[in-house]
Structure 1
Amino acid sequence: MENSNENLRRKKELRRPRPQKKQGCFTLGLLIFVVLALVAGSYLKKHLATAKQTAADIYQSTDTKKARNVDAILKQNKPVSILLLGTDTGALGRTFQGRTDTMILAVLNPKQKTMTVVSIPRDTEVAVFGYEQYFPSKINAAYAYGGAKTALKTVQKYLNIPIDYYATINMGGLENLINAVGGLDIKPLITFSYDNQSFTKDQTTHMNGKRALAYVRMRDDDPLGDYGRQARQRQVLTKLAFKSSKLINLLDDGFLKTIKSQISTDLTFDDLIYLGTDYRVATHHMKSYSMQSSTEVIDGQDFEVVDTKNKQAITDILRAALDLEPATTGSTLASDNTIDTQAKD
């Protein structure tokens, strides 16, 4: 474990330019698959003890009060929000607590049978919750500063959206998961080469974990930049969702042991049961959005700045998906940390 001086040094380095090698991963897909495995009748009966132990092993509380009563929300079958964090811990030999190179906010609405997914640019300019003295910061620094708790509170305040749960996965997780489902057939959105892998637009190719990881990592050569990378992330995520039923048959105790070292979440075993049963229908239809931003150079660094109009549009989408009353979008520089949780009548 690194000492406090080393951790402080890393925090200060967060504001320096970093190499442009990017990563992406899909906590949502992994989380859904684990849920399905845990609740599948025959699997659960046969491996109940292992399933419960796995849930206990991946559970990690944020030790903070939620914006609303999440237990009541689940039991009442109301829409829930999950912040999905893809970290670069474990990537490129890293062992320290990494940044979140992927941040996705997902809302599961079982009554509408809809999953609303919003990708948040990793370089979005914010004041990190509890670390406002480092403003301006990039939103991917929130996890490195204070873990999932800080990332959750920063995004929550930024959009004025209650976030009910979080889940993280390190970079090793996506590759192993895709290999576990036997790979994916993907039709590339653009032609490019990256990490010794080549892809041709509209030419369907079978991707194992390594190849798929290269497909979603590339950003610099995409004409759409990070927006293009986010589109490829959502493309692979959708394919993974379609293969979830096959994954149930592939899961075994060895696979679960691998998962335990790659994922963490504040969803309990009972929470997972609720999601895997009452909320499973929400995955039938996915609505995907990306926050629209402009690149600005601040203190010598490139930041993605989202104007109030575009940020308000995302807040409106998410609050509607959560069946909440409309409200003004948030601000990480505001002194008030209260999140509006008023539900529609």
Structure 2
Amino acid sequence: MDNDNKNTSNTQGDKDLQSLISNAIENRKILDASNSNGPTGVIPIPSKEQQKADPIHESDPKQDKTPKKKKGWSKKKKTGIALGIIFVVFIIIIAIIVGLFFHYTGMLDRTKDTKINSGKAPINSSELTNEADTFDAKEKEDELKAQLQKQSSKISSEDVTNILLIGEDIRDTEEESRGNTDVMMIISINTKNKTITMTSLMRDMYIYMAQFDEGNRLNSAYWHGGCEYLEQCIEDYFGIQIDRYARVNFYSFIDIVETVGGIDMEVSKAEAEGMKKPMAEQNKYLKNKKGTDYISDDIFAGKSDEDKVKLHLNGNQALAFARLRYVGNSDYERTERQRRVISEIITESKKLSLVQLDKLLNKVLPEINTDLTDGEIANLLLNAFDYMKYDIQQLRIPADGYFTNEVIYSMDVLNPDFAANSAFIQYIVYGSCKNIDEAIKQYQEENAYNYSYDTGYYGY
């Protein structure tokens, strides 16, 4: 090949080389521009430094695969398991409550005292008087027989539960015999009117007991036939249904007061002095040292007999206060003191913790005799918080102005107007009246046409 052709070929080759280089440069610019705007299907190769800093870009088939989602419980299955756990816990709680319920109710004394004393009821010689009898016993008993025949029906209501609370004499408890009752109180729960009525029955009311052909004080009915016969006599003379009874002795009363931490009472100087007599008797049976729990005379220094001081009473003192009889208006104020004490016990019981309540129940329940069934007790407990909100009413029978003081068989007794006093109980317990004043007014209005100027009573 000659030199001219050789030079021509070289020149053409240079041009071609330059053209290729120019095209390569243009392609590089386009590639750089594309990378700056984001991926367009071309995947750039990272540098070694980038590969070390970000190893995920290394080609790893395991990492390229999308991890499979683990299989878990469905929402429906989780809800079912939660409900199952709640149900099991609920069953356990119910089992514990039922177990505790039967544990406590099993402590109660359900023994029925079926003993019948057919002789003459004993009379405490210290309660006899030297005064002559003020009316003929035979005539009075005939009158009471007629009264029983008039009181042919008993009032009752599904909204009212009447529970007779019986307090046993401490002397009878010690001697393990059945004597007369020291306390008789009807606790009436009216769920319709949302009231609880505490009706004290004065023990000296004179009645005739047909089953034993004997006239005597109301509290002697317990000596003759126990709780059930006392219930029967109250029903016969006052025309109301007694649904159940609960009998407590004075030892359990002391335990209750001690467990609630004692009670606060307004006590007069005369009452504090008078409490020494029943407390001396209690100390004897409790085997306490003479003079135990007497209230110091220094507390009432310079005060009159009627002046009162607020005192915190323990169980022994509260019992003496409730039993105190020969201060003030005798048995009338005595029953009023009993209602005050029970009201204060109820108030203090609301403050008990579960531990204190357990202590109280374990100590007191074995000493309570009742015919309340487990179902009835359960119902009372389930509604206890509602009952605590009820209005508490108090009543003493016989009411002032509707009895006379008499002497028979050398005993001081009360001669009640049973027709009027029966009406008072019914009006207040069953809801037409809120207090004794309203009850008296209603009774007088209903019986205005039948007033006896000889007796001063309505209803004859």
Using the size of structure 2 for normalisation, the TM-score is: 0.53
Shift of 1:98: 2.6
Instruction: Pick closer, same or farther for the CA change 1:252–1:110 going to 2, 3 Å.
Output: closer
What one-letter code is carried by the residue in structure 2 that aligns with 1:100? T
**2:168–2:247 contact (8 Å) kept in structure 1:** yes
Whole-angstrom distance in 2 between the partners of 1:236 and 1:189: 15
Instruction: Pick closer, same or farther for the CA change 1:159–1:252 going to 2, 3 Å.
Output: closer
The correspondence of residues 9-28 of structure 1 with structure 2, limited to 5 A, is none
Shift of 1:116: 1.2
SS of alignment partner, residue 179 of structure 1: helix
Shift of 1:121: 0.6
1:119 aligns with 2:200: yes
Instruction: Pick closer, same or farther for the CA change 1:158–1:309 going to 2, 3 Å.
Output: closer
- Name the residue aligned to 2:249: 170
| Identity value in percent | 24
1:300 aligns with 2:410: yes
Q: 1:95 aligns with which of 142, 159, 176?
A: 176
Write out per-residue CA displacement over residues 119-157 of structure 1, whole angstroms, 9 at most, x where no aligned residue: 1111111123632x12x1111111111111101111011
Write out per-residue CA displacement over residues 45-78 of structure 1, whole angstroms, 9 at most, x where no aligned residue: 75643531431342537699xx99x9x94xxxx2
Q: 2:102 aligns with which of 47, 52, 55?
A: 52
- Name the residue aligned to 1:239: 344
Instruction: Pick closer, same or farther for the CA change 1:269–1:259 going to 2, 3 Å.
Output: same
RMSD: 3.4
Whole-angstrom distance in 2 between the partners of 1:116 and 1:306: 21
**Gaps (5+ residues) in structure 1?**
1-41, 329-345
- Name the residue aligned to 2:143: none
Whole-angstrom distance in 1 between the partners of 2:372 and 2:211: 24
- Name the residue aligned to 1:128: 209
The correspondence of residues 59-208 of structure 1 with structure 2, limited to 5 A, is 60=110, 73=158, 78-89=159-170, 93-128=174-209, 130-131=211-212, 133-134=213-214, 136-188=215-267, 191-192=270-271, 193=273, 194-195=275-276, 196=291, 197-198=294-295, 201-208=307-314
- Name the residue aligned to 2:396: 290
SS of alignment partner, residue 264 of structure 2: strand
Figure out how many residues of one structure are paired with residues of the other and give that number.
275
Shift of 1:112: 1.7
**1:129–1:153 contact (8 Å) kept in structure 2:** no
**2:164–2:245 contact (8 Å) kept in structure 1:** yes
Using the size of structure 1 for normalisation, the TM-score is: 0.69
Instruction: Pick closer, same or farther for the CA change 1:121–1:252 going to 2, 3 Å.
Output: closer
Q: 2:363 aligns with which of 230, 234, 258?
A: 258
Whole-angstrom distance in 1 between the partners of 2:429 and 2:311: 38
**1:50–1:253 contact (8 Å) kept in structure 2:** no
**Gaps (5+ residues) in structure 2?**
1-91, 115-152, 277-290, 301-306, 434-441, 447-460
- Name the residue aligned to 1:209: 315
**1:156–1:163 contact (8 Å) kept in structure 2:** yes
Shift of 1:314: 2.5
Q: 1:218 aligns with which of 292, 302, 324?
A: 324
**1:148–1:166 contact (8 Å) kept in structure 2:** yes
The correspondence of residues 311-326 of structure 1 with structure 2, limited to 5 A, is 311-318=421-428, 320-321=430-431
Instruction: Pick closer, same or farther for the CA change 1:261–1:153 going to 2, 3 Å.
Output: same
Shift of 1:311: 1.8
